[in-house]
A and B are shown apart, each in its own frame.
Chain A
Amino acid sequence: MIDLSDAFAALSDPTRRAILARLALGEVTVKELAEPFDMSQPAISKHLKVLEGAGLIARRIDGSSRPCRLAKEGVEAVDQWLAMMRKALDANFERLDVLLAEMQPQSAKRRRRP
């Protein structure tokens, strides 16, 4: 079960968002992540721990390294929630579109649709 509060808290940090963007391209190790971010591996590991705790990434053991990848379930939960929020807002504004058309004087409406 994904806790959306944890997920959004994890997403509030720009470095963690950048890490997710990188993981969208495929699985990577901590070492590979640390290089482009110009951060120490422990610092990266800290961010990964937050992301993992929020259910946004998953890690597996491969010898001495622990490559990480996006966790489908977590990303989909966030995605789904955003789609729902957009839908509620869109529904509001679409209703407003119809009202605005009704509120406009006829002459203005004619001008708008030559």
Chain B
Amino acid sequence: MSKLTLKIEGERYVVVTRRFAAPPALVYRAHVDPVVIQKWMLGPAGWSMPVCICEAKPKGRIRYEWSNGQGGGFFLTGEFLELVPPRRIVHVERMHLPDATPDNRIETRFEPDGEGTLMTMRMTLPDLETRTRMLSTGMEHGMEASYVRLEGIL
């Protein structure tokens, strides 16, 4: 059983939830501490993140660069809008493939769930077309956060 849920809402939203067996403060830290981020936000096996800039303050910069170790890679840039440790992060990000994708605004919430944490990421894309493109380009770039739930559809 997967702990992850992915669904699309309306025309512009993508919502991901995941439970963790650690308190919100730790899960929050794993999303703002570059040393920790570099250890897990890697996507498929074989990829690494040689550059991780994450300035966890309002207007702070985000820059993640991924490499597949064989000359392939891409990067993401963004800015933090709001940080409420250990409960809430709001930031915008865009992928550079190498052209920049439209901004994806992401609100990440960390709620206590028993002794663990329920994390909810709510992504807001500018429009349906952008979301469709984000969902359909993920295949070449397996790192891209891209989500649809087909259960109940097909």
Contact = CB atoms under 8 A, between A and B. Distances in A.
Interface residues of A, number: 38
Interface of A: 4-5, 7-9, 11-12, 17, 20-21, 24, 70, 75, 78-79, 81-82, 84-93, 95-97, 99-101, 103-104, 108, 111-112
Contacts, number: 106
Given A9-B132, A21-B153, A112-B21, A95 B40 contact: yes
A85 B22 CA distance: 24
User: From DSSP, what is the main secondary structure of chain B's interface residues?
Assistant: loop
Nearest to A108: B23
Contacts of A87: 44
21 contacts: A7-B136, A9-B132, A11-B148, A21-B153, A21-B154, A78-B154, A84-B142, A86-B2, A87-B44, A88-B44, A89-B16, A89-B145, A93-B40, A95-B39, A95-B42, A96-B20, A99-B40, A103-B36, A111-B115, A112-B21, A112-B115
B133 interface: yes
B147 interface: yes
User: From DSSP, what is the main secondary structure of chain A's interface residues?
Assistant: helix
B128 interface: yes
Given A21-B152, A82-B148, 18 more contacts: A4-B139, A11-B148, A17-B153, A70-B154, A79-B150, A81-B139, A82-B150, A84-B139, A84-B142, A85-B138, A85-B146, A89-B16, A90-B4, A92-B41, A92-B42, A95-B40, A95-B42, A99-B40
